[in-house]
Every structure is written in structure tokens, then in C-alpha cells.
């Protein structure tokens, strides 16, 4: 029996129109362009205008990806949306996306919440459905509207994040040595509290006091996140490479979560893959969480950086703490 592998046949992205530069942030909090660039590598980030919802950005990213793939919304068998900034707690943002793009009503659409690792988790789920023969064409979305959950009085978090969406369009293929080779997912719940939005859920329902205490914004222990990110991203990269009997030298392209340039530089050294093999855009977009890998890949594909036959490594880490990797042959 011919083995089915999952291939990315289309990529799409959407970044919010508003631009917030480091100079703009200097007027809001005690920070400076030099301080931000030195610690993160970020110079500007995108901010969605009022009236734009998470599903609006996600829908546009999917439509752009379908156009590249030569597919229509009705061709989709499943929509998986990775986000921690949904339109509403109920229903799933993916349901709004399904309706907005005009997909058929027998296309199951659901959300996953793995924060910055959402696109890799979604890729893994889609891969299982496609290889198992339960779906042919699947859209995997990573989308975040983080500006709505940032405390612009906290210089340690508000300088990091931006708004955007990216999408993979996946389908089954029988071509030998093409497509997703393996995915690897991990979670350490003992570290859940180092990156969280404290209030708004069942553990701490919304109240006047939680709003007053600014508990509906992102709270992060930056040093702890940095420490674990470097270690776990490197470990996940090595796991994917070793599982497929390759070496670091075999990797042609790395699409990593665009969190912090210092993290990526450290990971590059640990896994012995030069930084010039990484697709980088965090200087312009900041950390778009689950959207960062599909946005970066879409830019790389459209710029001609990704070639047929390239061995591609994806790595990401986010709240949970959840992290993962994927290795694929383009």
C-alpha cells in the first residue's frame, strides 16, 4: 500500500495594518529603542485596528493560502485554529473562520490552545487525520490578536508582542520522501504559571477586582521563559533531526517561533545550525505567538527562500509550557 504523507501545498498570512515602533513605545512606558533591540531584536510590531477580530485575520490568511494552493474553501475537509486570543470564549474562533471564508458545513472546525506552539500542534493533528485517510485538505491556522491582552504599562511584555495570522494548507500526497516526516510535542505543566493570563477563566472568573488588578493581561516571568525556551527548543530540534536519521548539517531551512533574537541565537549555537538558515522577521512583526511560524514560512515561500526538496525544521515554545518541532521535506 502506498504511504500517504502530508504536504504543505499553500501558505498564507495576514499582518495587522497598524505599526507600533519602539519610538512609539518610548512615549508609553519607560523603555528605549536601544533597550528593546538589544534584548529582543524587535524594532516594530503590528497592531490591529478597532473592529478587527481574530477570525478576520485568520480568514484572510486562509484565503491567501488557498489561492496559492489552487483550492477553494469548499475543498477543505477540516479547519484547525491555534489561538489564545479567540474572538470569544465560546464558540471556537475556527467556526467564525469557516463561515467567513464560505467553507462547507460538514467541515469540522475547532480551536487548540498551545500558545506559541499552536501551529506545530495543529500541524501534528492535521497530519494524523490526513495520513489516516479521514481528511484530504486541511487548513491549519496560527492567529493572535495579542494587543488586546497586553498591559501597556508593563514594559517587559508590551514591547514583545504583535498581531497577525498565518495558515498552512495541507493535503495528502504519495510522492516519496516529500511532506511531513515527523512531529514532536511536549508539555511541562509545572511551568504553566511563568506565562499566563491570570483571570477570565474558571480558576479566577472576571470581576471588578480582576479588572482593577490588571489580571486580564499577559503576565510573564521573562528570565524563566528564556531559560526554558533555549533548552527545550534545542532539545526538540535535536529530537526531530535524530528521529529521521539526519544530522544538523542536512537541514536547509529553519522556521522557528519568532520570540526573541537572543533565544534564536542561543538555539542556533546549541543545535549547530547557522542562523543564516533561519527565516527571520521578528524585527518587523515582534512575537505573534502561534502565528509566527506560518507568517515566517509564508514570507519565505513567497520570497523564494524555500526550494523543492529542502529539508525544513520547525520549532516553537509557548505557554503551558508547551513546545514542539516538525521536520519535513518541501
- Report how many domains make up the chain: 2
Kindly report the pTM of this predicted structure. Answer: 0.95
Residue 143 and residue 291: Cα distance in Å, rounded?
Answer: 5
Is the predicted pLDDT of residue 2 greater than 80, yes or no? Answer: no
C-alpha distances out from residue 251 to 74, 217, 238, Å: 35, 38, 11
Is 129 in the same domain as 268? Answer: no
Do both 199 and 103 map to the same domain? Answer: no
CA quadruple 45, 50, 55, 59: dihedral, nearest 10 = -70
Three-state secondary structure call for residue 196: strand
- The domain boundary residue, chosen from 176, 201, 236: 176
172 and 219 share one domain: no
116 noted as active-site residue: yes
Which contacts (CB < 8 Å, 24+ apart) does range 217-220 have? 217/149, 217/150, 217/151, 217/154, 217/157, 218/146, 218/149, 218/150, 218/151, 218/157, 218/161, 219/157, 219/195, 220/156, 220/157, 220/194, 220/195, 220/196
The C-alpha angle with vertex 322 and arms to 316 and 325, in degrees rounded to 5, equals: 35
The residues facing 327 across adjacent strands are 182, 313
Same domain, 151 and 127: yes
> pLDDT digits over 112-129, tens only?
999 999 999 999 999 999
Q: Please check whether residues 285 and 318 belong to one and the same domain.
A: yes
C-alpha to C-alpha distance for 199 and 210, rounded to whole angstroms: 7
Nearest-angstrom CA–CA distance, 163 and 145: 5
pLDDT over threshold 90, residue 150: yes
Structural domain boundaries, residue 192: 180-329
The reported pLDDT for the residue numbered 1 is: 58
- Out of 64, 137, 260, 287, pick the active-site residue: 287
What integer best gives the mean pLDDT of the chain? 95
Together in a domain, 81 and 107: yes
Grid cell, residue 280, equals 527571520
d(CA 125, CA 49): 32
The residues pairing with 277 across neighbouring beta strands, listed in sequence order, are: none
Provide the pLDDT for residue 72: 97
Last residue of a domain, one of 115, 145, 176: 176
pLDDT at residue 253 above 70? yes
Q: Each residue of 63-88: pLDDT tens digit?
A: 999 999 999 999 999 999 999 999 99
- CATH label of the domain that carries residue 210: 3.40.47.10
Active-site hit among 116, 137, 184, 281: 116
pLDDT at 177: 80
- Of 153-157, 239-243, 250-254, the range with the lowest mean pLDDT is 153-157
Given pLDDT bands bounded at 50, 70 and 90, which one contains residue 49?
A: very high
Q: Which of 137, 184, 257, 260 is catalytic?
A: 257
pLDDT of residue 3: 82
Lay out the sheet containing 311-318: strands in order across: 179-187, 322-329, 311-318, 253-256
Domain end point (choices 151, 176, 201): 176
What is the predicted pLDDT for the residue at 218?
94
pLDDT per residue as tens digits for the range 226-245: 999 999 999 999 999 999 99
Question: 143 with 69, same domain?
Answer: yes
Amino acid at each position: 500500500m502506498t504511504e500517504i504523507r502530508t504536504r504543505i501545498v499553500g501558505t498564507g498570512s495576514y499582518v495587522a495594518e497598524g505599526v507600533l515602533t519602539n519610538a512609539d513605545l518610548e512615549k508609553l512606558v519607560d523603555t528605549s529603542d536601544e533597550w528593546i533591540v538589544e534584548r529582543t531584536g524587535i524594532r516594530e510590531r503590528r497592531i490591529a485596528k478597532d473592529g478587527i477580530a481574530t477570525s478576520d485575520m485568520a480568514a484572510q490568511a486562509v484565503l491567501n493560502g488557498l489561492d496559492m494552493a489552487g483550492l477553494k474553501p469548499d475543498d477543505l475537509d477540516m479547519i484547525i485554529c491555534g489561538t489564545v486570543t479567540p474572538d470569544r470564549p465560546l464558540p471556537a474562533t475556527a467556526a467564525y473562520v469557516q463561515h467567513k471564508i464560505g467553507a462547507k458545513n460538514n467541515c469540522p472546525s475547532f480551536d487548540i490552545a498551545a500558545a506559541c506552539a499552536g501551529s506545530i500542534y495543529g500541524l501534528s493533528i492535521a497530519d494524523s487525520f490526513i495520513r489516516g485517510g479521514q481528511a484530504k485538505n486541511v487548513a491549519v491556522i496560527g492567529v493572535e490578536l495579542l494587543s488586546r491582552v497586553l498591559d501597556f504599562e508593563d514594559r517587559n511584555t508590551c514591547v514583545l508582542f504583535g498581531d497577525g495570522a498565518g495558515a498552512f494548507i495541507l493535503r495528502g500526497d504519495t510522492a516519496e520522501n516529500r511532506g511531513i516526516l515527523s512531529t514532536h510535542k511536549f508539555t511541562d505543566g509545572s511551568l504553566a504559571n511563568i506565562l499566563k493570563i491570570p483571570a477570565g477563566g474558571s480558576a479566577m472568573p472576571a470581576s471588578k477586582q480582576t479588572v482593577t488588578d490588571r489580571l486580564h493581561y499577559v503576565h510573564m516571568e521573562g528570565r524563566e521563559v528564556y531559560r526554558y525556551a533555549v533548552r527545550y527548543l534545542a532539545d526538540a530540534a535535536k529530537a526531530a533531526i535524530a528521529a529521521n536519521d539526519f544530522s544538523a548539517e542536512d537541514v536547509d531551512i529553519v522556521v522557528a517561533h519568532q520570540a526573541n533574537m537572543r533565544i534564536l541565537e542561543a538555539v542556533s549555537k546549541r543545535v549547530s545550525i547557522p542562523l543564516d538558515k533561519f527565516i527571520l522577521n521578528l524585527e518587523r512583526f515582534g512575537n505573534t505567538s502561534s502565528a509566527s511560524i506560518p507568517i515566517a514560512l509564508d514570507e519565505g515561500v513567497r520570497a523564494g527562500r524555500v526550494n523543492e526538496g529542502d529539508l525544513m525544521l520547525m520549532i516553537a515554545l509557548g505557554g503551558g509550557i508547551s513546545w514542539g518541532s516538525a521536520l519535513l521535506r518541501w
